């Protein structure tokens, strides 16, 4: 039995949104100052900043859902977002992106907007690496696995 969309929706307070957006701003500024190249080109001015902010807020919403501390980290590549092995990914495409170098982790899909984030489910990084889910959208030379949200585990008890 699955949980309803209402039960999977997490609303952040104004203060939480401010903290999440500030954390995203810090992550983006760190990338700019250290001249890190994005894996994909910006389609419009500010897109990468907005992505950092939305991703940070989605991570905070997941932490709130799970009742764990949101760590406000920056520049911690290939280190779990939550606990020892949970990576939170934000997207409104209906698919969870899992990179080829994501190993031995639980990948969690979050979507929505600042007025409410939705927990879509999770999958282990190893289970996500199916040939039919491998895509290189935009032909940027960075293929990844895009798991449809319908194929994600909905239970939070396994996390």
The mean pLDDT of 97-117, rounded to a whole number, is 95
Chain Cα centroid distance, residue 143: 17
The residue among 56, 76, 158, 74 whose CA lies nearest residue 117 is 56
Does 156 fall in a domain? no
Evaluate whether residue 157 is within a structural domain: no
pLDDT (tens digit per residue) in 57-101: 999 999 999 999 888 776 666 677 888 899 999 999 999 999 999
Q: Is the pLDDT of residue 1 over 60?
A: no
User: Does residue 158 belong to any structural domain of this protein?
Assistant: no
- SS3 state at 122: strand
Amino acid 74: pLDDT: 64
Q: Which domain holds residue 136?
A: 5-151
**Residue 3 above 60 pLDDT?**
no
Burial label for 12, CB within 10 Å (0-12, 13-18, 19+), is buried
**10 inside domain:** yes
Query: Band of the pLDDT at 110, cuts 50, 70, 90?
Result: very high
**Residue at 159 is within a domain:** no
Place of tokens 């920056």: 74
Q: Tell me the CATH number at 64.
A: 3.40.600
Mean pLDDT confidence for 11-32? 95
pLDDT digits (tens, 9 = 90+) for 134-157: 999 888 888 999 999 999 999 876
pLDDT above 90 for 114: yes
pLDDT band at 130 (very low <50, low <70, confident <90, very high): very high
As for how many domains the chain has, the answer is 1
Q: What pLDDT is stored for residue 126 in this prediction?
A: 97
Report which secondary-structure segment, H or E, holds 118.
Answer: strand 116-124
128-136 long-range CB contacts below 8 Å, 24 or more apart?
128/96, 128/98, 128/102, 129/98, 129/100, 133/98
Q: Is 128 left (phi over 0), alpha (psi -120 to 50) or beta?
A: alpha
Identify whether 134 is part of a domain.
yes
């Amino acid at each position: 039995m699955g949980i309803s969309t209402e039960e999977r929706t997490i609303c952040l307070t104004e203060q939480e949104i401010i903290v999440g957006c500030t954390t995203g701003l810090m992550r983006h500024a760190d990338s700019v100052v250290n001249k890190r190249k994005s894996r994909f080109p910006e389609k419009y001015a500010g897109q990468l900043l907005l992505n950092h902010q939305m991703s940070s807020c989605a991570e905070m919403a997941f932490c709130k859902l799970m009742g764990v501390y949101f760590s406000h980290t920056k520049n911690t590549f290939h280190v779990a977002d939550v606990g020892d092995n949970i990576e939170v990914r934000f997207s409104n495409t209906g698919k969870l992106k899992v990179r080829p170098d994501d190993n031995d982790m639980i990948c969690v899909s979050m979507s929505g907007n600042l007025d409410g984030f939705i927990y879509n489910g999770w999958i282990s990084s190893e289970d996500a690496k199916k040939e039919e889910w491998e895509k290189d959208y935009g032909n940027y030379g960075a293929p990844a696995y895009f798991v449809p949200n319908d194929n994600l585990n909905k239970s939070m008890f396994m996390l």
